């Protein structure tokens, strides 16, 4: 967490986020209800409500799934990510109301247990339209429940970040279940082509935004070493002092990193965030311990690297959160020479201090050692 942490976090942004979320859901439900009454006057109130809540939950899940890729494509979407878990809990609540209305309407009237009835009420037939669709909805609801119940940071700390992350990746399983639920449900029901079209559009949007963001990141990830080979650059060690002798990799020019910001490079398959601050350079893993946010897209605030997603903070030289917080990310050894940053690709253990490289002193030292006539030649020679 961060140096500015306060126990009560109902700040203005959070209240605004929740107000917009609840307001949008209310507007959607009202519009859905009015349109159903106008266009399908024979649909009963219970059916109208169950459709309205089911559709609202499904639509909100699309928005939640698209927020991640959108933020990777454009940081302007970051405010949507800030409290995405509130949207997740809202989605579960809407889905639960839908399921409750379904159970009351279709499954509470017989001797069979209502939950069992969801699984046995419609038996598999040979036709595609006969596939029972309600169990898919039930399984999706269980996943949404697990995610909503563990959404608080208390669970993140107790389950550990990898377990929590794995659990929350199950949102994609829930989404797949719901696509099947709605597809087979619509096939069995009135089968409006508008529903089928809207669902196809939703699927294309979710898959498309993930693919575009994935390709964009993979392109940026072509490792620094590979890039140098592709660009025809050959690095030659310039004497015994050269960082290249010790396995360091020429990462980027110091001038490419804005003050109090970072440049992200990919070394040996791992993303590394190289920060410039107070005349120094430090490098840490790009992956925030909270929810894998991209630390290199954050900035230095109060002397700490601040994650752009929810504001967790880490000291740039140790990768450790300021006390009393305990999160830690791996650090990387860095050197600066001739105006370029060299990073050793082997990470130090999370929280282990790596001496920051002084930008000015190292450059001057290099100049003095080389003498004026040999002063800073580029380390890179084009073949
Ligand atoms: C126990 C869990 C669930 C059950 C038993 C269930 C059951 C049903 C039923 C019976 C229908 C057809 C309603 C009708 O039109 O007559 C339906 C439709 C639908 N459900 Fe579910 N559902 C469950 C969970 C969910 C969840 C969690 C979501 C979304 C997050 C969802 C989204 C939808 C949507 C979008 C439709 C299509 C709207 C419509 O035309 O009815 N369902 N579900
Ligand atoms: S603070 Fe949440 S991902 Fe970094």
pLDDT (tens digit per residue) in 158-207: 887 778 888 999 999 999 999 999 888 876 765 567 777 888 899 999 99
Can you count the helices (H) and strands (E) in the chain? 12, 13
Residue with token string 């002084």:
358
Atom in ligand 1 nearest the alpha carbon of residue 118:
5
Among all bound ligands, the one having the nearest atom to the CA of 161 is: 2
Atom in ligand 2 nearest the alpha carbon of residue 293:
3
What is the DSSP code string of 27-77?
Answer: HHHHHHHHHHHHH-TTS-HHHHHHHHHHHHHHHHHHHHHHHHHHHHH-GGG
Q: What is the pLDDT of residue 341?
A: 92
pTM for the predicted model, two decimal places? 0.78
* Residue 185 to residue 130: CA distance in whole angstroms: 9
Per-residue pLDDT of 92-140, as tens digits, reads 999 999 999 999 988 887 778 888 888 887 655 556 666 788 999 999 9
Pocket of ligand 2 (CB under 6 A): 288, 290-291, 293, 307, 309-312
* Residue 310 to residue 303: CA distance in whole angstroms: 17
Per-residue pLDDT of 17-36, as tens digits, reads 999 999 999 999 999 999 99
Q: Atom 2, ligand 2: which residue's CA is nearest?
A: 310
Among all bound ligands, the one having the nearest atom to the CA of 296 is: 2
Distances (CA, A) of 348 to 283, 334, 353: 10, 11, 8
Query: Are 82 and 309 in contact, with CB atoms under 8 Å apart?
Result: yes
Query: What percentage of residues in the chain have a pLDDT greater than 70?
Result: 83
Checking if the pLDDT of 304 tops 50, the result is: yes
Distance from Cα 153 to the centre of ligand 1, integer Å: 30
Q: Atom 26, ligand 1: which residue's CA is nearest?
A: 95
SS3 358: strand
User: Which residues, other chains included, contact 204 with Cβ-Cβ below 8 Å and sequence gap of 6+?
Assistant: none
Distance from Cα 182 to the centre of ligand 1, integer Å: 7
Distance from Cα 25 to the centre of ligand 2, integer Å: 26
Pocket of ligand 1 (CB under 6 A): 47, 50-51, 54-55, 57-58, 61, 95, 98-99, 102, 106, 118, 134, 137-138, 140-141, 144, 178, 181-182, 185, 189
Distance from Cα 68 to the centre of ligand 2, integer Å: 12
Residue with token string 């380390």:
379
Distance from Cα 292 to the centre of ligand 2, integer Å: 6
User: Which residues, other chains included, contact 310 with Cβ-Cβ below 8 Å and sequence gap of 6+?
Assistant: 82, 290, 291, 293
Average pLDDT, the chain: 84
Virtual CA dihedral for 376, 378, 379, 383, nearest 10 degrees? Answer: -150
Q: What is the pLDDT of residue 371?
A: 42
SS3 315: coil
User: Which residues, other chains included, contact 340 with Cβ-Cβ below 8 Å and sequence gap of 6+?
Assistant: 250, 251, 252, 253, 254, 379
Token couple for 378: 């580029």
Distances (CA, A) of 168 to 159, 203, 313, 329, 363: 12, 20, 22, 21, 46
Distance from Cα 222 to the centre of ligand 1, integer Å: 43
Atom in ligand 1 nearest the alpha carbon of residue 195:
40
Checking if the pLDDT of 230 tops 70, the result is: no
């Amino acid at each position: 967490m961060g140096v500015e942490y306060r126990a009560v976090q109902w700040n203005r942004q959070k209240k605004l986020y929740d107000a917009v979320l609840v307001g949008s859901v209310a507007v959607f439900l009202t519009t859905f209800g009015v349109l159903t009454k106008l266009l399908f006057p024979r649909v009963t109130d219970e059916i109208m409500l169950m459709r309205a809540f089911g559709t609202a939950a499904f639509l909100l899940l699309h928005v939640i799934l698209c927020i991640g890729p959108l933020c990777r494509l454009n940081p302007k979407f970051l405010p949507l990510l800030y409290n995405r878990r509130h949207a997740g809990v809202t989605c579960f609540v809407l889905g639960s109301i839908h399921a409750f209305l379904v159970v009351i309407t279709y499954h509470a009237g017989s001797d069979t247990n209502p939950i069992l009835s969801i699984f046995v009420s419609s038996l598999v037939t040979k036709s595609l339209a006969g596939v029972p669709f309600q169990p898919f909805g039930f399984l999706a609801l269980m996943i949404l429940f697990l995610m909503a119940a563990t959404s608080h940071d208390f669970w993140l700390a107790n389950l550990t970040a990898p377990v929590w992350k794995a659990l929350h990746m199950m949102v994609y399983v829930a989404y797949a279940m719901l696509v099947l639920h709605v597809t087979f449900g619509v096939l069995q029901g009135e089968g409006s082509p508008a529903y089928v079209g809207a669902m196809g559009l939703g699927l294309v949007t979710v898959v498309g935004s993930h693919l575009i963001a994935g390709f964009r990141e993979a392109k940026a990830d072509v490792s620094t070493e590979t890039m140098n080979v592709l660009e025809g650059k050959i690095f030659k060690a310039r004497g015994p002092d050269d960082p290249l002798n010790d396995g360091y990799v020429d990462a980027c020019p110091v001038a490419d990193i804005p003050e109090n910001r970072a440049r992200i490079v990919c070394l040996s398959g791992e993303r590394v965030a190289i920060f410039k601050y107070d005349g120094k350079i430090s490098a840490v893993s790009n992956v925030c311990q909270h929810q894998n946010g991209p630390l290199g897209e954050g900035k230095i605030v109060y002397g700490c690297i601040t994650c752009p997603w929810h504001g967790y903070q880490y000291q740039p030289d140790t990768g450790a959160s300021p006390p009393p917080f305990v999160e830690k990310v791996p650090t990387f050894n860095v050197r600066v020479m001739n105006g370029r940053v060299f990073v050793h690709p082997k990470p130090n253990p999370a929280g282990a201090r790596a001496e920051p490289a002084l930008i000015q002193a190292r450059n001057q030292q290099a100049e003095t050692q080389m003498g004026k006539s040999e002063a800073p030649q580029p380390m890179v020679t084009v073949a």
